[in-house]
């Protein structure tokens, strides 16, 4: 199937060129590790600020690789081929988003336990963090695809992309960090996680269509 081909292509491209996944994880680990180093071994304080810091770091590292999501294909003419393909653009975009999540979101989640240790998070809290990231990072990729599609024709559009996307990432940040805090304070994280799930389903339904329209608009201009 073409969707498998496209995912394999994006994964192979990401691993052969480097860039993408490894860079995002590296940034996440380094950015998050700077706080314990800067603040010092204040265990209580670190535990208190960990949810916010880890989620903000995840958000920023996700942004790093987004601007190339469609731009590389636009520059060499592959985007025309994608648009001419008999497969629906929405499906192709969903596939590319999944590829982006596999190379960015998933590695972040795998790295999270190691980073969480530096913040003195215990097992239960860390599990909530991982669960919230499992639900939240796909939203970052999905919403990011719309931003990447809108800025596909702009060279060095990374800054604009950040300005465009960071406000849209706020709900994920609030409920992602909120779920971890709720577990930290022992009041249960179900409510936050359910809202994250709702955000995921909503963006899963809307973002591929919006990104496809943005790409079509770009190709036809």
Partner 1 sequence: MLLVGEGLACVRGERQLFSGVDFSLAPGDLLFLQGANGSGKSSFLRLVAGLLRPAAGKFLVDGEIVAPDWEALQTQLVYISHHDPVKPAFSVAENLVFWMGLAGKGIAYKRGTGGGLVAEDSHRALEALGVAGLADIPARLLSSGQRRRLNLARLAAIPRSLWLLDEPTVGLDAAADRLLAGLIASHRDAGGLVIVASHTDLGCAATGYLNFGHT
Residue ranges in contact with partner 1 by CB under 8 A: 2, 5-6, 9, 12-13, 16-17, 73, 76-78, 80-87, 219-220
Half-sphere exposure of 191 (CA within 13 A, CB side): 7
For 40, the token pair is 């010092």
Q: In the complex, what is the shortest distance from the CB of residue 218 to partner 1, in angstroms, rounded to a whole number?
A: 11
CB of 73 to partner 1, least distance (A): 8
Least distance in Å: CB of 67 to partner 1?
18
Smallest gap from Cβ 87 to partner 1, in A, equals 7
Nearest residue (CB) to partner 1, 17 versus 191: 17
Q: How many residues does the chain have?
A: 221
Query: What are the start-end ranges of the E strands in the chain?
Result: none
Q: Which residues of 26-49 are buried (b: 16+ CB within 10 A; e: fewer)?
A: ebbbebbeebbeeeeeeeeebeeb
Q: For partner 1, which is the closer residue by CB, 6 or 133?
A: 6
Whichever of 16 and 155 has its CB closer to partner 1, that residue is: 16
In whole angstroms, how far apart are CA 213 and each of 89, 155, 219? 9, 20, 10
Q: What is the token pair recorded at 136?
A: 């939240």
Give the nearer residue to partner 1 in terms of CB position, either 77 or 186. 77
81, two tokens = 């081929």
Our CB check for partner 1 shows the closer of 13 and 197 to be: 13
Minimum distance between the CB of residue 199 and partner 1, rounded to whole angstroms? 31
């Amino acid at each position: 199937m073409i969707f498998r081909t496209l995912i394999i292509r994006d994964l192979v491209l990401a691993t052969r060129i480097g860039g993408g996944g490894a860079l995002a994880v590296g940034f996440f680990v380094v950015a998050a590790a700077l706080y314990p180093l800067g603040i010092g071994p204040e265990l209580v304080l670190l535990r208190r600020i960990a949810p916010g810091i880890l989620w903000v770091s995840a958000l920023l590292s996700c942004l790093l690789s987004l601007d190339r999501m469609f731009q590389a294909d636009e520059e060499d003419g592959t985007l025309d081929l994608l648009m001419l393909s008999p497969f629906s653009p929405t499906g192709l975009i969903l596939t590319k988003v999944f590829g982006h999540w596999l190379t960015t979101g998933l590695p972040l989640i795998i790295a999270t336990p190691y980073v969480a240790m530096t913040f003195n998070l215990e097992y239960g809290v860390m599990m909530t963090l991982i669960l919230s990231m499992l639900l939240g990072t796909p939203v970052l990729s999905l919403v990011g695809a719309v931003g990447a599609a809108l800025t596909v024709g702009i060279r060095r559009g990374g800054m604009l992309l950040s300005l465009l996307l960071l406000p849209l990432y706020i709900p994920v940040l609030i409920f992602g960090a909120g779920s971890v805090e709720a577990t930290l304070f022992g009041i249960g994280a179900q409510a936050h996680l359910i809202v994250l799930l709702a955000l995921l389903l909503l963006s899963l339904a809307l973002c591929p269509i919006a990104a496809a329209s943005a790409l079509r608009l770009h190709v036809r201009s």
